[in-house]
Structure 1
Amino acid sequence: MSPANRLKVTVTRRLPQPVETRMQELFDVTLAPSEDARMDRDQIVDAMRRSDVLVPVVADRIDAGMLAQAGDKLKLIANYGAGVDHIDVHSARQRGILVSNTPGVVTEDTADMTLALILAVTRRIPEGQAVMQAGEWRGWAPTAFLGGRVGGRRLGILGMGRIGQAVARRARAFGMQIHYHNRRRLRPEIEQELDATWWESLDQMVSRMDIISINAPHTPSTFHLMNARRLKLMKPTAVIVNTSRGEVIDENALTRMLRAGEIAGAGLDVFEHGHQINPRLRALPNVVLLPHMGSATVEGRAEMGEKVIINIKTFADGHRPPDLVLPSML
């Protein structure tokens, strides 16, 4: 494609440098001015009016109202990330705008983080680290920082897609018993490989597990899937870990129950209201909070960028992007 005919691409956030360099070689790219720069709603709308392709991230909400102001130039939203719940895909398709994502890239990284959170919560790792950093450790004691052994515990995985299955493989290596609830039951050979038990009833699974891992996407049907009623089914000794989407858990209800000791602990990498974290949740000693680090590896973020580039390049060549998102998939 000649320079004059190159697609106009706007990227809402700074991406890894090799990804940006390759984009600039292929397209007419507008990048965010700095790593701290965040486009607000009006700036994203303006970018959509000026661009053939918009490359947003999970923190950029693109709703029907914004798409209605986009004009006729925008033809592709090439999302940098697998989740697309922040984009109104239905409205985009109605306006003739394609949406693509980057599936499969962060599976292993997110599964690693899930196990890290399970261990951090059950073994009280942040509490120990805080004492060491404060210089308050007075030596080993038989009853200090007693956590729980993960081997033999029942792990209930809510959402048994790519990431859920990767979590199950890791958990088996730690000696955990694998249980899961999913919209569709896995094929028998996969269940056998993972030594996983399917629960048709989420309520029954939740009430019997020692650890709950949330690995389901955010959709209208999964919003507050772990609501106050369902959280109350958990055993007081159980912990819950979420590395998928914050909206799947009723965060206020979870906070109340953690404060009351009705749930033993939680490990959260995602939150219902983005970076606006409930101060009461932040103050709890039995909670491990991370700043959405599940996909934060150099390798993962580079591979995400490569998928974005392939989706845009395929579209520019007149073909369907390989990672096209259809409303029927949601």
Structure 2
Amino acid sequence: MNRLSVLVHTWVPDELRARLDDRFDADYHDVFADGLLEPEPLKERFRDKAGVLLLGPYVGAEIFDACAGTLRVVANIAVGVDNIDVDAATQNGVLVTNTPGVLDAPVADMSMAMVLAVGRRLAEGDRYVRAGRFRTYPFQLLWSADIGGETLGIIGLGRIGKRVAARAQSFGMKVCYHNRNRLPDDEAAALDVEWRSLPDLLAEARYVVLLCPLTPETRHLIGAPELSRMRDDGFLINMARGPVVHEQALVEGLQKGEIAGAALDVYEFEPKVDSALWEMENVVLTPHIASATRTTRLAMIDLAARNLEAALTGGDIPTPVNPEVLKRSF
């Protein structure tokens, strides 16, 4: 019996590779060793594949149209699916899956770490010591912002945002949030959070943490007008997706002193980063590692693989994004 072919566009641990090899005719591309495939090579590697285990590149309508009738599932190794044209997938009967839940706690931890890092100037202090400049008692050195007693504003109070709120409150912070849809009053009261309009949140919060998904509505949600509304002693922390922030507007706002600093784990054109950000002492930069604990990354890959396996060999799909496709027979 002919085995189904799959593309594995990611690194996978040896035990998972053996599992996939046992079930499928697998074509591997290690993005960490060889980089992301460009659009045309990616399209060619998708050809004749029943499923794809995917990390990274954009998969648009052209690929789904070209693979119609053969491709059954794209198992994304992320919560967000902004790298996939889900509408085109659905139109072509392709199931899309993601990896929610398993990364909530580490992303919340990292969000709070970035608040602390930019507010308390931790990266600056590290660079200061490494440069050999720590030679005397520095009473007036690197005075920083308070954490406790300040207001944290969360844009996107979902599963991760709620965990960030709890962590911030343990530091004595007040938490307000902005969602398109407000939480029920009893839930907001239980979480001890208060809703604000976006302009009001930006004006009030010392720390603004972005945790919203990337959608057409949230692309460039934070641009020049929004940065001008923030406090001049405020900090922007982007843990969502890079294009939620207009990166050039952020650079210009920082240069003008419209805000006090920023902490970024994601970038508008990643892996490219505006070189002006490299030179700014009041900016903390990390390479999209919010979920990068060993346990979490292995759990993400495993969940994506289980989605792939269930879609191709039968069984319940753990985390479908477009479950309406499941009503159709492959």
- TM-score for the superposition, normalised by structure 1: 0.93
Secondary structure of 2:250's counterpart equals helix
Deviation, structure 1 residue 71: 4.4
Per-residue Cα deviation, 1:34-80 (whole angstroms, up to 9, x for no partner): 732132212221121121001111x2111112322224311111111
Secondary structure of 2:29's counterpart equals coil
Secondary structure of 1:180's counterpart equals strand
- Using a 3 Å threshold, how does the CA distance of structure 1 residues 11 and 217 change in structure 2: closer, same or farther? same
Secondary structure of 1:323's counterpart equals coil
Q: Which of 232, 244, 253 is the matching residue for 1:257?
A: 253
Per-residue Cα deviation, 1:208-263 (whole angstroms, up to 9, x for no partner): 11110000000001111112111110010000101110111111111101111110
- Using a 3 Å threshold, how does the CA distance of structure 1 residues 33 and 208 change in structure 2: closer, same or farther? closer
Deviation, structure 1 residue 166: 0.9
- Using a 3 Å threshold, how does the CA distance of structure 1 residues 35 and 193 change in structure 2: closer, same or farther? same
Cα distance in 1 for partners of 2:92, 2:116 equals: 46
In the alignment, what sits opposite 1:160? 157
Matches within 5 A, 1:138-153: 138-153=135-150
- More divergent stretch after superposition (208-217 vs 318-327): 318-327
Contact in 2 for aligned 1:48/1:54 (Cα 8 Å): yes
Cα distance in 1 for partners of 2:323, 2:229 equals: 33
Matched-pair identity in %: 36
Per-residue Cα deviation, 1:159-182 (whole angstroms, up to 9, x for no partner): 000111111011011111010001
Q: Which of 203, 218, 233 is the matching residue for 1:237?
A: 233
In the alignment, what sits opposite 1:53? 51
Secondary structure of 1:35's counterpart equals helix
Contact in 2 for aligned 1:213/1:242 (Cα 8 Å): yes
Cα distance in 2 for partners of 1:18, 1:113 equals: 28
Cα distance in 1 for partners of 2:251, 2:17 equals: 40
- More divergent stretch after superposition (167-176 vs 22-31): 22-31
Q: CA RMSD in A?
A: 1.7
- Using a 3 Å threshold, how does the CA distance of structure 1 residues 197 and 54 change in structure 2: closer, same or farther? same
- State yes or no: 1:44 paired with 2:15: no
Cα distance in 1 for partners of 2:17, 2:253 equals: 44
Q: Which of 81, 84, 89 is the matching residue for 1:87?
A: 84
In the alignment, what sits opposite 1:313? 309
Contact in 1 for aligned 2:109/2:164 (Cα 8 Å): yes
Per-residue Cα deviation, 1:266-300 (whole angstroms, up to 9, x for no partner): 00000011111111122111000000010111111
Q: Structure 1 unaligned segments of length 5 or more: list them.
A: none
Q: What is the one-letter code of the residue matched to 2:119?
A: T
How many correspondences in the alignment?
Answer: 323
Q: Structure 2 unaligned segments of length 5 or more: list them.
A: 325-330
Per-residue Cα deviation, 1:117-166 (whole angstroms, up to 9, x for no partner): 11010111111101111222112221101111100100000000011111
Contact in 1 for aligned 2:205/2:231 (Cα 8 Å): yes
Cα distance in 1 for partners of 2:13, 2:296 equals: 11
- Using a 3 Å threshold, how does the CA distance of structure 1 residues 81 and 20 change in structure 2: closer, same or farther? farther
Q: What is the one-letter code of the residue matched to 1:176?
A: M
- State yes or no: 1:266 paired with 2:262: yes
- Using a 3 Å threshold, how does the CA distance of structure 1 residues 84 and 327 change in structure 2: closer, same or farther? farther
Cα distance in 1 for partners of 2:137, 2:65 equals: 63
Cα distance in 2 for partners of 1:34, 1:77 equals: 16
Deviation, structure 1 residue 9: 1.5
- More divergent stretch after superposition (177-186 vs 319-328): 319-328
Cα distance in 2 for partners of 1:33, 1:128 equals: 36
Cα distance in 1 for partners of 2:151, 2:21 equals: 49
Deviation, structure 1 residue 82: 1.0
- More divergent stretch after superposition (148-157 vs 130-139): 130-139
